Amino acid sequence: MEWKYPLTTYVYRRLSRPLAARLARTRITPNQVTWIGGTVGMAGAVLVALQQFYLAVALLFISGILDCTDGDLARAKDQVTRYGAYLDHMMDRWVDGALVVALVLTNFENLWLVGLLAMMGTYMATAPRTKAEAEGVSCLVGLATRDLRMLIWWVGLLLLQPYSLLLLLALLGLITSIHRTHHSLGQLRTAEAEGGAA
């Protein structure tokens, strides 16, 4: 079982691939799908702020499908680009941040601190992998993949447990950041040693 990417493997891809196959016969571009998916995700964050949690989860589900569709469409149309990958990455970060802010706004007095920690955890989980890949090393480790973080959002919103949701994001983000940083430093140290030996 693919535990790191359960939503992508068992849910999103089963819907995104047929959708991408249909879109491949149109003039719609992968980047347009990315923008639409990001907009739907931001709309989900607005619904979180309005405490319409069930509707928010529905929009986050659609956004997740579109987040996979853009890549599937890019491959189907042979339009895979660095521009598209960057846009997709940044759109995900905007949605991630908007969701935390939106949830904190529903009960600022009780959620501001754990929300701040969740924001730090979310971005610190992502930063080591992004920097490692920029330095040319692989960093495919860590618990808090975006898939698992979104699953936490689904469950936390549906069970009406905002504090637990944010606390779990904070803890998993911290653990993942430490794991990925340690792994990446090891990879870089090995690469530099091998380069020096050569």
- How sure is the predictor about 198, in pLDDT bands with cuts at 50, 70 and 90? low
1 band by pLDDT with thresholds 50, 70 and 90: low
Residue 114 placed within a domain: yes
Give the integer Cα–Cα distance in Å for 6 and 138: 21
pLDDT for 120 equals 96
Please enumerate, as own/partner, the contacts of 108-112 that have beta carbons within 8 Å and a separation of 24 or more: 110/163, 111/162, 111/163, 111/166
Instruction: Quickly state the pLDDT bin for 4 (edges 50, 70, 90).
Output: confident
**3 state SS of 191:** helix
Predicted local distance difference test score (pLDDT) of residue 197: 62
Domain range for 67: 6-191
The predicted-structure confidence for 97-137, as pLDDT tens digits, reads as follows 999 999 999 999 999 999 999 999 999 999 999 999 899 88
**What CATH number does the domain containing 182 carry?**
1.20.120.1760
Q: Does residue 33 form part of some domain? A: yes
Report pTM. 0.93
Q: How far apart are CA 121 and CA 87, in angstroms?
A: 22
Tell me whether residue 124 is in a domain: yes
In this prediction, residue 191 carries a pLDDT of: 86
pLDDT of 95 reads: 98
Give a yes or no: residue 198 inside a domain.
no
pLDDT at residue 22 greater than cutoff 70: yes
Q: Is 197 among the domain residues?
A: no
Q: Using the predicted structure, report yes or no on whether residue 2 has a pLDDT greater than 80.
A: no
Q: Is the dihedral of CA 48, 54, 59, 62 positive or negative?
A: positive
- In the chain, pLDDT over 90 holds for what percent of residues? 86
On the question of pLDDT at 83 being above 60, the answer is yes
* Residue 1 located in a structural domain: no
For residue 70, is it within any domain? yes
Structurally, the chain folds into a number of domains equal to 1
Query: What pLDDT score does 6 carry?
Result: 85
22 found inside a domain: yes
Task: Tally DSSP H helices, then E strands, for the chain.
Answer: 8, 0
Tokens 């504090």 — which residue? 163
